[in-house]
Amino acid sequence: GAVVSQHPSRVICKSGTSVKIECRSLDFQATTMFWYRQFPKQSLMLMATSNEGSKATYEQGVEKDKFLINHASLTLSTLTVTSAHPEDSSFYICSARETPWTGIDTEAFFGQGTRLTVV
Amino acid sequence: AQKVTQAQTEISVVEKEDVTLDCVYETRDTTYYLFWYKQPPSGELVFLIRRNSFDEQNEISGRYSWNFQKSTSSFNFTITASQVVDSAVYFCALSEANSGNTPLVFGKGTRLSVIA
């Protein structure tokens, strides 16, 4: 089946630095990818929708200048946490849906997630 | 607006007991998908099932079974003869079914602890 690969799985960075997280669809093209954030013992909350070749759409309350999303190809979306602070420490997970010939999306695939710790 | 409610925050059972995780959803769409995922401590989401809104048949997969009832907007998940390895957080999720890509809306999750 289709696979979404996310890298790195775990990162520790110093406060004020930037961190880039990659999300790749390995055997299908994803014109749209989604980025979620999960704080400890909480649910997955959609942060933004990443669209290939155009600007990402951010959910209310998510700072677009802090969480930069680039979707430059049909198989790669990146999330950059700029000037990270301890409150940005969280589990970030990407997702892509494979749209078959029917044009109606069905499958939803998730990356392995990235655990970000800002110290 | 879409919403998924998992009223049980935490459940603890003794091994070999059966356990049912509840999921109630809200949507104005007539066509939608429902999902269940398992999230072990590693964090990775493990896909369990996807059900579209036109298929109300219950499903059984080994020790797992799902009961989809449109009349009550519920999609409950039952684990029979629970095992310690079933301990995890379980998420129910919902998405529209459109031509185009749509995200999943997740419930808050139910943390299941199976005690030996």
Is the CB of residue B104 less than 8 Å away from at least one CB of chain A?
yes
User: Would you state the pLDDT for residue B79?
Assistant: 98
Q: How confident is the model at residue A72 (pLDDT cuts 50, 70, 90)?
A: confident
Q: Average pLDDT of chain A? A: 91
Q: Report the alpha-carbon distance of residue B81 to residue A88 in Å, rounded.
A: 40
Residue A2's pLDDT band (boundaries 50, 70, 90)?
low
Is it the case that residue B99 has pLDDT exceeding 70? no
Please check whether residue A95 touches B, CB under 8 A. yes
Please report the pLDDT score of residue B78 as a whole number: 98
Cβ distance B101 to A105 less than 8 Å, yes or no, reads yes
Residue A91 in this model has a pLDDT that exceeds 90 = yes
The residues that bridge with B93 in the sheet, in sequence order, are B35, B106
CB nearest to A110's CB, from B45, B52, B97: B45
Q: Which of A43, A110, A113 sits opposite B107 (nearest CB)?
A: A43
**Per-residue confidence band for A27, with pLDDT thresholds at 50, 70 and 90:** confident
A5 C-beta neighbours (distance < 10 Å), count: 15
What's residue A13's pLDDT?
96
Which residues on A lie below 8 Å from B105 (Cβ)?
A: 46
CA distance B107 to B90: 9
**How much is the average pLDDT of A60-71?**
95
Residue A41 vs residue B4, higher pLDDT: B4
The pLDDT of A40-46, averaged and rounded, is: 94
Q: Which residues pair with B94 in a beta bridge?
A: B34, B105
Percent of chain B with pLDDT over 70: 97
Size of interface A-B (CB pairs under 8 A): 68
Q: Which of B84, B96, B91 is nearest to B110 (CA)?
A: B91
Mean pLDDT of A86-104: 82
B53 interfacial to chain A (CB closer than 8 Å): no
Partner-chain residue, chosen from A49, A96, A104, that has the shortest CB–CB distance to B98: A104
pLDDT, average across residues B70-96: 96
A111 Cα to chain B: minimum distance (Å): 7
